[in-house]
Chains A and B, each alone.
Chain A
């Protein structure tokens, strides 16, 4: 601990001793109240005053001395008004001391200063000499009240205004984070949370509910409660608590469903920061459940092509008339599972069959059946092509061109899956035919490679037979020549 902190701690402790042991009236308060001093008037309602902590607890000096010279004498420990970060240190002299807090009957946590200093507000201000925020920035100085006290600046109903004091001040925010929006309060007031908060509902989310209080971090910081991968658990703190949410009459299984969804798996298990979290669809400060009209806009902000195709499809009008949410009707909302081909078609598990039957809607039924048939054909054709390419590759054949074309077949299948949202069998057939064509070409090329592999072996066998015949003939020729040479040599010797 640094020297100033030791000094402050001693001051506070001495002040408390004076007040406690002497039980005398606080001369500081008597004089300052007499002078009509505003801080002293506020201090009479301060939680610290009510706990018996005198002015000298923070300012030092002798609260029993009637004379100003003696009461406010530096030799008596008087320090005047604490400045800059000394304010937070002064508060922490008690609030970070768990034994002292226990003696005062408090069960508050004692890590506020550490949390504040490591938070985004604990960074140095532009002056470079002090941190951005100190305790009094949010809690006030002489009229500090319990957080639950409706008059406290950090009570659920007031905290938004307190945060907005800086965060809605464009000139101030520009000095520290010019890219950060300053309209959070305006947006918040339009949200379900904001409107309920304005009506006096202390249970709905306010700034501190999502961002934290002392331990606020930048949204880009992985430690932040509003970092993309942390958002679902932050929201579910309330929205997953059935007892807490009972009066709001909304489901509380969203987090459970979202965790299992394709989005939840991508975000929470694979750590894909591009995957949507709660705020991606509901908004953050202006959070609201998307309406029937807006749900496709929400999904369409990422799935743009699907949304465009749907808007131009015959389903658009029918859905609007039936008051059905566009994407949600087939895909669900929080528990959106990976869209497999099973969703399409006329089998009982297909979503199309929920509305289309051969009797009531034969056209739609036929279209759904055709699209599913083509999708299945595409998939099996691509699978067959991939298997042949793999076989040719395993046989050591050069097949990179066919392998590259296989990507086109896969691409066509993906396009076909997107084209489903147009609900137009003709358009779907065009894309599917292209994919089937490419897959067919790949199959032919890969099959040729496999055939070539066997042709090479047969060719090698033929070549080996020819070479062996030649080699044997040559060997016999050498033997015949050498036999003749030896015979001649023998005749030569004898003669």
Chain B
């Protein structure tokens, strides 16, 4: 008697020829070396994104994206909907952990120079997804329409408004008017649940396709350490099962965070109330916010804030295009400059985030 799952597999295989895919997965190997741990952060990021999609869809069943109802609808989710508190808290915590995991994944790729030829497109799509993740965070932060999110959005869009040349167009486009209002909320809701997920899905598809097609990059120099067959492990089932194990741990961590530190809702936003003291953006924007605070109002003839935005813009662009200007790594040579630059960036982000948190 052929088992049911085997018969189901055969049924599908007859129609879409699964054999090729299974053969491909069976021949796929993951390099094993002392930096292998960092490979898992790509998978963790993917898992957290999937949680975001699932919890986001569940929240959508009750969330109402309007100035009058958004706060109340989340209040309803938190207090009346069965397990609504859990879904909302997990969504909020996952949002933060997703950006943290994506950041670790990005820097691990950066330090291993895994962006080098032939994986330039994988890096590009990854970076664009990272920027989109920041967009997800910024737009999602406003959706509860509470006091903190309202004023943080006001400050955030103010900063967008000082971008040279396009700032004057970007700010009203983001706000849907001159001020942060119900129009901004509708807009951010649209970006958060339709525009960003749509674009993100395309980049994620390309990114995963490229990873499967090209396999995982080996850091420069690690190949010399071994040379026999034990330096790789099968993607299926070894790596995938390890991934699943880590995902389970992350899931448990999320449950603990949601139960012990439920995400607060705060007070409903009042556009006519004065801004409360100590308004700060989400932690992943804190280093930018803190830097802008330290830049003098005027540097020679240039506005300090404009200069800061320009510098961060240029830094972001250079990071995005690193596979194209780091020729040395592409040639397989060790590039210590990139390593030192990466260390500087990481220390800068950590230092200024702590400063922003403490000061």
- Residues on A lying within 8 angstroms of B by beta carbon are 396-401, 449, 456-457, 459-460, 463-464, 467-468, 470-471, 474-475, 477-478, 481-482, 485, 489
Q: Nearest B residue to A448 by beta-carbon distance?
A: B79
Kindly provide the distance from the CB of B5 to the nearest chain A CB, expressed in whole angstroms.
Answer: 17
Q: Nearest A residue to B230 by beta-carbon distance?
A: A489
Contact with A along B66-81 (1 / 0, CB 8 A): 0000000001001100
Residues in chain A near residue B241, CB distance under 8 A: 474, 477-478, 481
Residues in chain A near residue B206, CB distance under 8 A: none
The 3 closest A-B CB pairs, nearest first, are: A398-B78, A398-B79, A460-B259
| Known contacts A478-B238, A478-B242; A467/B248 CB under 8 A | yes
Contact (Cβ within 8 A) A460 B255: yes
Residue from B75, B234, B259, B261 within 8 A of A398 (CB atoms): B75
Contact (Cβ within 8 A) A464 B255: yes
Q: Does B198 contact A (CB under 8 A)?
A: no
Contact (Cβ within 8 A) A471 B85: no
Kindly provide the distance from the CB of B321 to the nearest chain A CB, expressed in whole angstroms.
Answer: 39
Q: Does B212 contact A (CB under 8 A)?
A: no
Contact with A along B226-254 (1 / 0, CB 8 A): 00010000100110011011001101100
Contact (Cβ within 8 A) A482 B252: no
Kindly provide the distance from the CB of B225 to the nearest chain A CB, expressed in whole angstroms.
Answer: 19
What are 23 residue pairs bridging A and B, where the CB atoms are less than 8 Å apart in the complex?
Answer: A396-B264, A397-B79, A398-B79, A399-B79, A400-B79, A401-B75, A401-B79, A449-B79, A456-B86, A459-B259, A460-B255, A460-B256, A463-B255, A464-B252, A464-B255, A464-B256, A467-B248, A467-B251, A467-B252, A468-B252, A471-B245, A474-B244, A478-B238
Residue from A459, A460, A471 within 8 A of B249 (CB atoms): A471
Most A C-beta atoms less than 10 A away, residue of B75, B244, B259: B259
Residues in chain A near residue B86, CB distance under 8 A: 456
Kindly provide the distance from the CB of A456 to the nearest chain B CB, expressed in whole angstroms.
Answer: 5
Contact (Cβ within 8 A) B79 A474: no
Known: A398-B79, A467-B255. 7 other contacts (CB 8 A): A457-B259, A460-B259, A471-B252, A474-B248, A478-B238, A481-B241, A489-B229
Residues in chain B near residue A398, CB distance under 8 A: 75, 78-79, 85, 265
Q: Does B219 contact A (CB under 8 A)?
A: no
Kindly provide the distance from the CB of A450 to the nearest chain B CB, expressed in whole angstroms.
Answer: 13
- Residues on B lying within 8 angstroms of A by beta carbon are 75, 78-79, 85-86, 229, 234, 237-238, 241-242, 244-245, 248-249, 251-252, 255-256, 259, 261-262, 264-265
Residues in chain A near residue B252, CB distance under 8 A: 463-464, 467-468, 471
Residues in chain B near residue A467, CB distance under 8 A: 248-249, 251-252, 255
Q: Nearest A residue to B248 by beta-carbon distance?
A: A471
Q: Nearest A residue to B71 by beta-carbon distance?
A: A400
Kindly provide the distance from the CB of A404 to the nearest chain B CB, expressed in whole angstroms.
Answer: 10
Please report the number of residue pairs spanning A and B whose Cβ atoms sit closer than 8 angstroms: 57
CA distance A109 to B255 in the complex (A): 82
Q: Nearest A residue to B252 by beta-carbon distance?
A: A467
Q: Nearest B residue to A401 by beta-carbon distance?
A: B79
Kindly provide the distance from the CB of A67 to the nearest chain B CB, expressed in whole angstroms.
Answer: 79
CA distance A315 to B302 in the complex (A): 81
CA distance A463 to B249 in the complex (A): 12
Residues in chain A near residue B255, CB distance under 8 A: 460, 463-464, 467
CA distance A478 to B241 in the complex (A): 7
Residues in chain B near residue A468, CB distance under 8 A: 252
Residues in chain B near residue A470, CB distance under 8 A: 248
CA distance A187 to B238 in the complex (A): 102
Q: Nearest A residue to B85 by beta-carbon distance?
A: A398
Residues in chain B near residue A396, CB distance under 8 A: 261-262, 264
Residue from B238, B249, B251 within 8 A of A481 (CB atoms): B238
Residues in chain A near residue B248, CB distance under 8 A: 467, 470-471, 474
Kindly provide the distance from the CB of A282 to the nearest chain B CB, expressed in whole angstroms.
Answer: 42
Contact (Cβ within 8 A) B245 A474: yes
CA distance A459 to B256 in the complex (A): 10
Most A C-beta atoms less than 10 A away, residue of B248, B256, B264: B248
Kindly provide the distance from the CB of B143 to the nearest chain A CB, expressed in whole angstroms.
Answer: 16
Contact (Cβ within 8 A) B259 A456: yes
Q: Nearest B residue to A464 by beta-carbon distance?
A: B252
CA distance A478 to B243 in the complex (A): 11
Q: Nearest B residue to A471 by beta-carbon distance?
A: B248
Kindly provide the distance from the CB of A333 to the nearest chain B CB, expressed in whole angstroms.
Answer: 43
Kindly provide the distance from the CB of A402 to the nearest chain B CB, expressed in whole angstroms.
Answer: 9
Residues in chain A near residue B259, CB distance under 8 A: 456-457, 459-460
CA distance A363 to B357 in the complex (A): 68
CA distance A467 to B246 in the complex (A): 11
CA distance A468 to B255 in the complex (A): 13
Kindly provide the distance from the CB of A488 to the nearest chain B CB, expressed in whole angstroms.
Answer: 12
Residues in chain A near residue B78, CB distance under 8 A: 398
| Known contacts A460-B259, A489-B229; A478/B79 CB under 8 A | no
Contact (Cβ within 8 A) B245 A478: yes
Residues in chain B near residue A399, CB distance under 8 A: 79
CA distance A467 to B252 in the complex (A): 7
Kindly provide the distance from the CB of A221 to the nearest chain B CB, expressed in whole angstroms.
Answer: 30
Q: Nearest A residue to B234 by beta-carbon distance?
A: A485
Residues in chain B near residue A459, CB distance under 8 A: 259
Residues in chain B near residue A463, CB distance under 8 A: 252, 255
CA distance A397 to B261 in the complex (A): 10
Residues in chain A near residue B238, CB distance under 8 A: 478, 481-482, 485
Q: Nearest A residue to B80 by beta-carbon distance?
A: A401
Kindly provide the distance from the CB of A361 to the nearest chain B CB, expressed in whole angstroms.
Answer: 50
CA distance A457 to B242 in the complex (A): 28
Residues in chain A near residue B264, CB distance under 8 A: 396
Q: Nearest B residue to A474 by beta-carbon distance?
A: B245
CA distance A470 to B255 in the complex (A): 15
Kindly provide the distance from the CB of A392 to the nearest chain B CB, expressed in whole angstroms.
Answer: 10
Residues in chain B near residue A478, CB distance under 8 A: 238, 241-242, 245
Residues in chain B near residue A474, CB distance under 8 A: 241, 244-245, 248
Q: Nearest A residue to B241 by beta-carbon distance?
A: A478
Residues in chain B near residue A456, CB distance under 8 A: 85-86, 259
CA distance A456 to B262 in the complex (A): 11
Q: Nearest B residue to A461 by beta-carbon distance?
A: B259
